[in-house]
Amino acid sequence: MKKLFYPESIMVVGVSDTPTNLGRRIVENLERFHFSGPVYPVGREGGNLDGREIYTRIEEVDAPIDLVVFLIPAPFIPEALEVCGEKGMRYAVIESGGFSEFAEENRRLDERVMEIAKKWDIRFVGPNCISIINLENGVVLPFVSLDPGGIKTGPISFVGQSGGIVNATLRLCSNENLGLNKLVSMGNKLDLDENDYLEFLISDQGTKTIGLYLESVSDGRRLMDLAGSARKPVVVLKSNTNTASNQIARFHTTALAGDDEVVSSALRQVGIHRVHTLQEMISAFKIFNLPLMKGPNLAAISRSGGSAVMAADAAHRYGFRLNQFSDSFLKFVRQKARAGVIRMTNPLDLGDVFDLEFYREILHRALKEKGVDGVLFSHVYLSGIDVMSTKHLIRAAKEFSHLYQKPVALCMIPNSGEWFMMRRAADFPIFTEPEDALKALSISHSYYKNITDREPHPRTQFELPTQKAQESEIRSHRVQGPGEVFELFRQYEIPVAEYRLAKDHEEALEAAGLIGYPVALKTADSDVVHKTEAGGVMLNIGNHDELNEALQGIKGDSFLVQKMVDDGHEVFIGGKHDPEFGPVILFGMGGIFVEALHDVVIRVAPITEREAGEMIDGVRGSALLKGFRGGLKADLDALRACLVRVSRLLYEHREVQQLDINPLVVRGEGQGCQVVDAKIFS
Amino acid sequence: MKKLFYPESIMVVGVSDTPTNLGRRIVENLERFHFSGPVYPVGREGGNLDGREIYTRIEEVDAPIDLVVFLIPAPFIPEALEVCGEKGMRYAVIESGGFSEFAEENRRLDERVMEIAKKWDIRFVGPNCISIINLENGVVLPFVSLDPGGIKTGPISFVGQSGGIVNATLRLCSNENLGLNKLVSMGNKLDLDENDYLEFLISDQGTKTIGLYLESVSDGRRLMDLAGSARKPVVVLKSNTNTASNQIARFHTTALAGDDEVVSSALRQVGIHRVHTLQEMISAFKIFNLPLMKGPNLAAISRSGGSAVMAADAAHRYGFRLNQFSDSFLKFVRQKARAGVIRMTNPLDLGDVFDLEFYREILHRALKEKGVDGVLFSHVYLSGIDVMSTKHLIRAAKEFSHLYQKPVALCMIPNSGEWFMMRRAADFPIFTEPEDALKALSISHSYYKNITDREPHPRTQFELPTQKAQESEIRSHRVQGPGEVFELFRQYEIPVAEYRLAKDHEEALEAAGLIGYPVALKTADSDVVHKTEAGGVMLNIGNHDELNEALQGIKGDSFLVQKMVDDGHEVFIGGKHDPEFGPVILFGMGGIFVEALHDVVIRVAPITEREAGEMIDGVRGSALLKGFRGGLKADLDALRACLVRVSRLLYEHREVQQLDINPLVVRGEGQGCQVVDAKIFS
């Protein structure tokens, strides 16, 4: 991959000297951004571009080429790629559109390109993209003219799908004086996808923070593994949240885990910060340019009372602690208060301190305070008059922030004449008001907690589904009844309330005798999905007579007689196969909690014991399990173990489209839990 | 009040000719903003300010004065105000700090000032503020120098507490090219408060949109009445959400309705849009400068595919409908698509239409579409090159938006050189990305729905608490037991499950006989707050023997025997007295729903039947009441009526600090509801 971003020579195919030609813009960008290697333009009509010969055929170029860029009509790509393969080129960029994104009938073209690439071992970017920008070495390949003057080189790399988003990110970063390193517009992701770029950027020296804009996820598990093990922050903007995907309407589970909720859960599971707008992404980039916030202790300093109040509100909202400042700090501040009108609280309101140069020293001392992990400094200054001292303050914030390895979130509202000037005063981020500054600090703090508290758990390296899947003899596209499902559960040691299957009334009566009353009687016909509504379930049958009566009333041709489980909390465990992340597990309290209150937690399977515990804690209704208002304290150990086992089952049985355990009864501490009813759609 | 904003003559007290004097800045501001009436500076040391005589004493000025502005040390204010009163001045501005906000012992000074103001019928702004700016007539009274060049006059008025927030708003609005009309920094609100300013601004011709920044609410009910009946949008930023207020820890009700949740509920109740940051307020100002969004139908047009995807996501998030465009519209667009590569969907991706002048016509036709209530136009343009055509687009958006009386939310990301230029291209708002644009449109749409669907319901004009309060003989600062509470409920026709009070075991047995078994036995001692936990409740007592046994076990000296209410849903109704909004009513489902899931709705009392219905619908767990999964359908008519009655009780009994009905059992349709247990703290 390195050659893609650091080629020593580049060929651009599709160049002419006509002014509207897009290919020539690529050559011009390379020139303008000072790419130092040789560039070979190729175009049918030949000619000359700014003194550079345009070759009429690829074959004419007699030099080693590290990277070839195509901007010719899609139908010509296969032939051209074949020639490049023959000539030994191994990295390509296809910027042309007109593949399957344009019309489904072009899918054959996609396949042809892939065949040729595979044959010659070529990896390529695109098609349908503005491809790659590497500001380190001037490899700037978009076919739109870019101006080096407006773009700053720095530690942030960004991968997006379309050119529009890459451009928007470029502008927003430049406006905020954020330095960029590498940018990728992936286009159709026919060969290389976000995970390939991500893997490269994680190992890339010049990249300290990574932003990903995704409209689809190519391989969710690899994304989780990569981002989850990266030693640099990865910020993900996943859009396209509104696609109605292959919903299987039969079970309600599906509706509970909309694809977008799976994305959010999966990313959170490995500590990736998900944002929903470009501006939120920029805010994350800003804060990740600073040392991380290593604890929850915030010093808030403000020049305006109103801003101090809003800072306190936001600090509370984001869970920061506002400790009291030390006596020596307060003594220091007090000496400069004009009328002594300072309340020595945190937030500290500096409204009465008019010596702006003195602010630097206050900031310095605040960072030195022991009980301070980061500082919010909300600044107000007079336009035109306090410009220099404010610039000094910004530079001091940068210096002290790095000196003490603590973040300083500086916010101010310059007027239009000074807005960008202040942003360029130093390589240091400016926020607008306490809310966005503290939200950013909370992102930094969450990231820090996550990397220091990370559990190694690669989701792609789990033992692969083996013969277990075959053993269980699960047929496809059908609902499995409790009999089959319970047998599968036995293999995974998922406890099921004692039951027996019965083919007729006689067997049912016999089964009840063996199990002991009270029992439940259920239809075992697998095509009755909602048994309760369909009159397929009778509960609390106390003796033979009652059972006889129940057998007369129940629908169905085969039966399941089950021991009644009393005295426990009913919970729900679900599973489904997500198209992007594979098997996921769901947990919630039974009945209305899941269905009307949507109080459900999702995780990508398999999960660890610890993750099982987090799932339980993540459901608000789980207060019930912990002995709410003198109620029964549930056997959480058993529940956690059960969640882990179900997650393994889901992982090892990829043919399971949906799984529904409803209810699992969790009994008192030490009493275990038991599945009462379950079904699987596979 | 009009004289305060439109004085014909102004006196400024506290002026000298020394350069650091703050009072002179007021005089200079008046000059700079072309206030046309006479201005009389007064200052002990006399002298001359830019050719204007400084009077040494107030008495020296022999002219009628409409408004006097004080910027002298606080202790001198009373005397000066007295003189002004004598001279017939009726409006004053006190900018000086140093009153009770500085030290509690200065409260006497507050009182003195109020006494003098009352005596002379003077209304005043402040103290401790930068007071008033009226851009219509140059009445610019802050003691900080302001620059008319950077400030645009327009239809937005803003009222804030501190000067810092007024200044920040001024800058943010100016940067967005939003025109301002009147600004007020209220300071300590010793006399005039937000409601006084709001009342004036509602009737003020020049003001079309009102922003309020509040750190405290002076009279919540008047605020609700004013803002709720205003025929212009009122946007409220209420901060100081984190104040631990007078929490009465005895009942859990209090914790359920944090003061800030009451504020949010009360504002929502009258359709006031609450924001949490200045930037959100600016966004609301932007959209309220345009015609309102009168329906949910959105046309989303974008020049970038990524932006189109994010527009679709955001449209879904904010509940907008993306209807299909008409054939004639699509035919029109198609003619300009370069390679025919346009998907004719909504959002419409114009990536392949390069004729920027043509965009104006597309926008025009989109607004003309029948199924379109508003347009999102996400624009991308080449810096330097497409500047003129983009400015034309902005001006066209303004023209067409007003022509068709539909909003156009235009978003784009100009580079730093063009950022403010585009904002100044017309009197038209620019958003950054689809998310903020659509959030703003949703604010506009909510506001429209609210004003067209408003229920007249003045909360201050309700019949005042009369002798009813005395009748009920409620003592203060104590918990009332069920006996007293049930008697009060009877007066309000709030149904209570049949009960009798009993002083001893014999009376209890007799009572049960009269009521009929099964009964519940409860301690009637009013000091046992949590009866269940304290062993003060026995349920489902089936006969005399069981009751005898229960009486042996129960704690307490007096008893309440109550008919068991079976077959119903248990719900919770609460009430409390909020310091800012007075009596409020709470509703939620019983038990865990309220306490662990915090699924509670709050309204300011009294409420209408319709509001009662909205409360029920606002609770997610109320799905249970509507026959969730074949369960009992509750008597919602009875529940609504009960909520209305409880809300009247709360309104008429201001001495009630907290009320707790838990549970109210709501039975099946037509079966009514009954209070089972209740307590009041007063």
- B177 Cβ contact partners less than 8 Å away, ≥ 6 residues apart: B152, B420, B423, B424, B427
Token duo for residue B568 = 């119903």
Whether A150 and chain B come into contact, CB under 8 Å, resolves to: yes
Which of B237, B416, B619 would you mutate first to test chain A, the one with the most A CBs within 10 A?
Answer: B416
pTM listed for this prediction: 0.91
Quick check: B164 and A309 CB within 8 A?
no
Q: How far apart are CA A478 and CA B627, in angstroms?
A: 30
Helical spans, DSSP H, in B371-452: 387-404, 419-423, 434-452
Q: Do B316 and A241 touch (CB under 8 A)?
A: yes
Nearest C-alpha in B relative to A530 = B629
Cis peptide before B663 (omega within 30 of 0): yes
Determine the residue of chain B that is closest to A176 in CA distance: B416
Q: Do A215 and B316 touch (CB under 8 A)?
A: no
Q: DSSP assignment of A502-540, as one string? A: ESSHHHHHHHHHHH-SSEEEEE--TT-SSTTTTT-EEEE
By C-alpha distance, the chain A residue nearest B629 is A533
Contact: B277, A436; criterion CB under 8 Å? yes
CA–CA separation, A360 and A592 (whole Å): 56
Q: Which H or E element spans position A644?
A: helix A636-652
Half-sphere exposure of A504 (CA within 13 A, CB side): 1
What SS3 state is found at B380? coil
- Closest residue on chain A to B147 (Cα): A383
pLDDT at B258: 57
Q: Give contacts of B172 with chain A, Cβ < 8 Å.
A: 413
Give CATH for domain B569-681. 3.30.470.20
Token reading at B582: 């007075």
| Cβ–Cβ contact A147 with B under 8 A | yes
pLDDT band at residue A465, thresholds of 50, 70 and 90?
very low
Class of domain A296-451: alpha beta
Whether residue A380 and residue B624 make contact (CB cut-off 8 A), yes or no, is no
Q: Using the predicted structure, report yes or no on whether residue A575 has a pLDDT greater than 60.
A: yes
* Partner B contacted by A354 (CB < 8 A): no
> Is residue B207 within 8 Å of residue B182, measured between CB atoms?
yes
* C-alpha to C-alpha distance for B238 and B280, rounded to whole angstroms: 12
Alpha-carbon span B408 to B416, nearest angstrom: 24
pLDDT of res. B538: 84
By DSSP bridging, strand A52-53 and strand A408-411 are: unpaired
Confidence at residue A530, expressed as pLDDT on a 0 to 100 scale: 56
pLDDT tens across B625-676, in order?
Answer: 998 877 889 999 999 999 999 999 999 998 899 999 989 999 999 999 999 9
Both tokens assigned to B362: 């597309």
Residues in chain B, pLDDT under 50: 244-257, 463-475
Task: Please state, in angstroms and rounded to a whole number, the distance separating the CA atoms of residues A601 and A588.
Answer: 7
Highest mean pLDDT (candidates A5-9, A258-262, B322-326): A5-9
- β-strand A374-378 against B678-681: which pairing, if any? unpaired
Residues 489-548 of B with CB under 8 A from A: 532-533
Which residue from A307, A414, A630 is facing B164, i.e. has the nearest CB? A307
CB atoms within 10 A of CB A52: 17
pLDDT of residue A369: 94
Instruction: Tell how many helices (H) and how many strands (E) occur in chain A.
Output: 23, 30
Asked if A579 reaches chain B (Cβ–Cβ under 8 Å), the answer is no
Report yes or no: B573 and B603 within 8 Å, Cβ to Cβ. Answer: no
Q: Do B623 and A592 touch (CB under 8 A)?
A: yes
d(CA B101, CA A72): 72
A144 at B interface, C-beta within 8 A: yes
Handedness of CA A305, A306, A311, A317 (dihedral sign): positive
Residue B16's pLDDT is 95
Q: B151-289 and B569-681: same fold?
A: no
A 627-656: CB under 8 A from B = 628-630
Distance CA(A506)–CA(A344), nearest Å, equals 83
Distances from the Cα of B581 to the Cα of B216, B255, B585, B613, B660, angstroms:
11, 16, 11, 21, 19
Q: How far is B44 from chain A (nearest CA, A)?
A: 21
Residue A216 sits at the chain B interface (C-beta within 8 Å):
no
Rounded to the nearest angstrom, the minimum Cα separation between B452 and chain A is 30
Count H helices and E strands in chain B, helices first. 23, 30
**Lowest-confidence pick of A279-283, A616-620, B89-93, B463-467:** B463-467
| Class of residue B311 by CB neighbours under 10 A (exposed 0-12, middle 13-18, buried 19+) | buried
Written as six digits, the tokens of A310 are 């809003």
Assess contact for A663 and A566: CB atoms under 8 A.
no
Q: Which of B213, B419, B596 has the CB atom closest to A175's CB atom?
A: B419
Rounded CA-CA distance B282/B158 in Å is 11
- CB contact (8 A) between residue A167 and residue B380: yes
Substitution target from B184, B212, B242, B616 for chain A, most A beta carbons within 10 A: B242
Instruction: Answer yes or no: do B629 and A591 touch at CB < 8 A.
Output: yes
Write down the pLDDT at residue B202: 96
Q: Convert the pLDDT of each residue in A182-195 to its tens digit.
A: 999 999 899 999 99
Q: CA B218 to CA B201: how far, in whole Å?
A: 17
Q: Residues of A numbered 388-427 whose beta carbons fall under 8 angstroms of chain B's beta carbons: which are they?
A: 413-417, 419-420
CA B416 – CA B273 distance, rounded (Å): 32
Predicted local confidence at residue A532, as pLDDT: 59
Residue A283 CA, chain-centre distance (Å), reads 16
The shortest C-alpha distance from A279 to chain B (Å) reads 8
Q: Is A239 on the interface with B (CB under 8 A)?
A: yes
Note the Cα A185 to chain centre separation in Å.
19
Cβ neighbours of A383 in B, within 8 Å: 147, 150
Residue B30 tokens read as: 């008046």
Enumerate residues 7 to 66 of chain B having a beta carbon within 8 A of any beta carbon in chain A. Answer: none
Q: Output the furthest CA–CA distance in chain B (Å, rounded).
A: 102
Q: Which fold has domain B498-563?
A: Dna Ligase; domain 1 (3.30.1490)
Cα–Cα distance between B25 and B36 in angstroms, integer? 17
Distance to chain B for A488, nearest Cα, Å = 29
| pLDDT for residue B240 | 84
Tell me which range, A329-343, A435-449, B234-248, B509-523, is most confidently predicted by mean pLDDT: A435-449
Q: Do B175 and A341 touch (CB under 8 A)?
A: no
* CATH tag, A1-130: 3.40.50.720
Question: Across the interface, which of B175, B414, B415 has its CB nearest the CB of A416?
Answer: B175
Binary contact (A165, B630; C-beta < 8 A): no
Determine the distance in angstroms separating the CA of A623 from the nearest CA of chain B, rounded to an integer. Answer: 6
Instruction: Decide if pLDDT at A618 tops 60.
Output: yes
**Phi, psi (rounded to 5 degrees) for A161:** -85, -60
CB contact under 8 A, B596 and A102: no
Rounded CA separation B426/B396 (Å): 9
Q: Are B357 and B392 in contact (CB under 8 A)?
A: yes
* Distances in whole angstroms, Cα of residue B328 to Cα of each of B325, B335, B345: 8, 11, 14
| C-alpha span between B494 and B645 (Å, rounded) | 7
* Residue where the block lists tokens 């008033």: B132
Residue pairs between chains A and B whose CB atoms are closer than 8 Å = 197
As a CATH number, domain A151-289 is 3.40.50.261
For the stretch B357-399, pLDDT in tens is 789 999 999 999 999 999 999 999 888 888 999 999 999 999 9
Tell me how crowded residue A504 is: count the other CB atoms within 10 A of its CB: 12
| B215 close to A (CB below 8 A) | yes
User: Residue range A36-55: average pLDDT?
Assistant: 93
- The phi, psi pair for B620, rounded to 5°, reads -65, -40
Report which residue type is found at B51. Answer: G
Taking Cα atoms as reference points, which of B207, B283, B211, B276 lies closest to residue B239? B276
The pLDDT value given to residue A422: 96
List, in order, residues 6 or more apart from A586 with CB less than 8 Å away.
A253, A256, A257, A572, A573, A574, A575, A576, A600, A601, A602
Question: Which pLDDT belongs to residue A459?
Answer: 60
ipTM of the complex, rounded to two decimals = 0.89
**pLDDT tops 60 at residue A176:** yes
Nearest to A592 among B215, B303, B628 (CB): B628
The DSSP bridge pattern shows strands B153-160 and B209-214 to be: parallel
Is A380 within 8 Å of B276 when comparing Cβ atoms?
Answer: no
Q: Specify the pairing of strand B479-480 against strand B678-681.
A: antiparallel
Q: Which residues of B touch A620 (CB under 8 A)?
A: 596-598
**Digit-coded pLDDT (tens) for A111-152:** 999 999 999 999 999 899 999 999 999 999 999 999 898 899
Q: What type of residue sits at position B330?
A: L
Of A190, A223, A228, A245, nearest in space to A577 by CA? A245
Is B241 in contact with A316 (Cβ distance < 8 A)? yes
Q: Which helix (H) or strand (E) holds B663?
A: strand B658-666
Residue spans of the domains in chain A: they are: 1-130, 151-289, 296-451, 498-563, 569-681
- Decide if pLDDT at A248 tops 80: no
Our CA-based measurement puts residue B282 at a distance from the nearest CA of chain A, in whole angstroms, of 12
Distance from CA of A549 to the nearest CA of B (A): 23
Q: Detail the DSSP E strand segments found in A186-314.
A: 209-214, 234-238, 273-275, 298-302
Name the phi and psi angles at B171, rounded to 5.
Answer: -70, -45
Return the DSSP state at A246. -
- Inter-chain CB proximity A304 and B168 less than 8 Å: yes
Q: Determine, for residues B413 and A316 on separate chains, whether the beta-carbon distance falls below 8 Å.
A: no
Residue A242 has its nearest CB partner, among B98, B316, B599, at B316
